[in-house]
Amino acid sequence: MAKDSTKDMSEGSPMKLILGFALPLLLGLLFQQVYSLVDTIIVGRFLGVKALAAVGATGSINFLIIGFCLGVCSGFGLPVAQRFGAKDYNGLRKYVGNSALLSVIIAVVMTTLTVLLCHSILEWMQTPEDIIRQSYEYIVVIFAGIPVVFLYNLLSSYLRSLGDSVTPVVFLVLSACLNIGLDLLFIVTFQMGVFGAAFATVLAQGVSGVLCLIYIIKKFESLHLERSDWKLDGPYVRVLITMGLPMGFQYSITAIGSVILQAAVNSLGSTAVASMTAANKISIFMVCPFDALGSTMATYGGQNVGAGKLDRLGKGIRSATLLGAVYAVVILIFLIFLGHRLIYLFVSPSETVVVSQAKQFLITNAAFYFPLSLVNIVRFTIQGMGYSGFAVFAGVFEMIARALVGLFFVPIFGFTAVCFASPAAWILADCFLIPAYFHVLHRLQKQMQQYRTQPAES
């Protein structure tokens, strides 16, 4: 174990631990979004507004499918974090082997289905005729790259579960730089259009996944599997499915609402799609700290539950909430005064309608970033506690909110309604998550109390 770059989050100051773990995650997320932004900037500037809209029109279906993959990988890392917190390294390796085999099966099935059904999905989403061909060229490549999505995200979830949030970031930074270079090569030099942008993303992520694998083999003895670990074992599979699939479905259920909303935006025309695309890219970049806090709390919750230290959960949530609140205020002020300049990265200032709508979307969403921070912090903590199924219901509430806005309010209020879809989703999710956390905590406390009194009774 001496060689392992692990971190035990069941000891020490929660604020220091959360900050120390979240900052490398944040750096990785920022770089990930940087090359996503660069993708969009290059597409918008070199290929035009139509190409920008074509990529943007695939955003929700991309989130639906790739989000499921990310959720499953994160969920598969939770029992690894719990076994690490309990110092059960044999169980840890069993979970790693079983989750790797399950991931291969899921990746093959998802890649086959999404590639075959890709064009039909775009038609169902009412993708405008003037951009549907380019939308297909982009998203079919992303779907074909699902196996490399699993490769990087599953391996990085193992590393984070053992307290190493730095290494995945290092490889992600290298991947981001490679992605930017490949974007310029494929789009500007080779004139490969939106296909080139997608191919660059898949290729760069594949490199980061391979680097993670090499690093684990060389540095993490606790993740070196024996032959017996490479065998599907019923009890381990059940736990992994119980934790992994609900997290995947959580992303997908949330994304269903986004797909319905995207279809409503598509019906407003390619200008509205381009406006939402530019604003969404900026917004996703700005909320990276909330995503980092969420991933941190999943590991923090998992390790502390595994160590039997439930009293530290509330302290961790309070520390993370304070960090989220401060950032939400700062970023709102920043976007009010400088948001329009960020939009100019994607489109020319002469595109006045796109700029105006994109700024409206940005400011409206930013005004509700604190509820979003609570969604991430509380949801991921619940998942780390071993109750991924409860967290799925938060995704259901988000789906309902976005779907209602897309179906009933966008046709009446147009783009203004689009701006309020996500804030409504975040608030509705919080109304479920906060009581759910206390319910789950009470259940764990009761279970632990019963466990501790068993020897005395016998």
How many CB atoms are located within 10 Å of the residue 226 CB?
A: 10
Torsion of CA 422, 427, 431, 437, to 10 degrees: 80
Q: Is residue 65 part of a domain?
A: yes
Phi-psi region of 436 (alpha: psi -120 to 50; beta: other; left: phi over 0): alpha
d(CA 315, CA 304) in angstroms, rounded, equals: 11
Q: How many domains does the chain have?
A: 1
Q: Is residue 1 part of a domain?
A: no
Q: Is residue 92 part of a domain?
A: yes
C-alpha distances (whole Å) from 186 to each of 260, 336, 410 are 32, 35, 37
Q: Is residue 5 part of a domain?
A: no
Torsion of CA 125, 130, 134, 139, to 10 degrees: -10
Is the pTM of the predicted complex or chain greater than 0.75? no
Residue 184 DSSP code: I
CA-nearest of 232, 252, 235 to 105 is: 232
Burial class from Cβ neighbours inside 10 Å (0-12, 13-18, 19+) for residue 358 reads buried
Q: Is residue 8 part of a domain?
A: no
Q: Is residue 6 part of a domain?
A: no
Q: Is residue 3 part of a domain?
A: no
Q: Is residue 2 part of a domain?
A: no
Return per-residue pLDDT of the chain as tens, 458 residues: 334 556 788 889 999 999 988 888 887 778 777 767 777 788 887 888 888 888 888 877 888 899 899 989 988 998 998 888 888 889 999 999 999 999 999 999 999 999 999 999 999 888 888 889 999 999 999 999 999 999 999 999 999 888 888 888 888 888 888 988 998 899 989 999 899 989 998 999 999 999 999 999 988 888 888 888 899 999 999 999 988 888 888 778 877 888 889 889 988 988 898 899 889 889 988 999 999 999 899 889 988 998 889 999 999 999 999 999 999 999 999 999 999 899 998 888 888 999 999 999 999 999 999 999 999 999 999 988 988 777 778 888 999 999 999 999 999 999 999 999 999 999 999 999 999 999 999 999 998 888 777 655 44
d(CA 356, CA 352) in angstroms, rounded, equals: 6
Expressed as residue numbers, the domain containing 280 is: 14-453
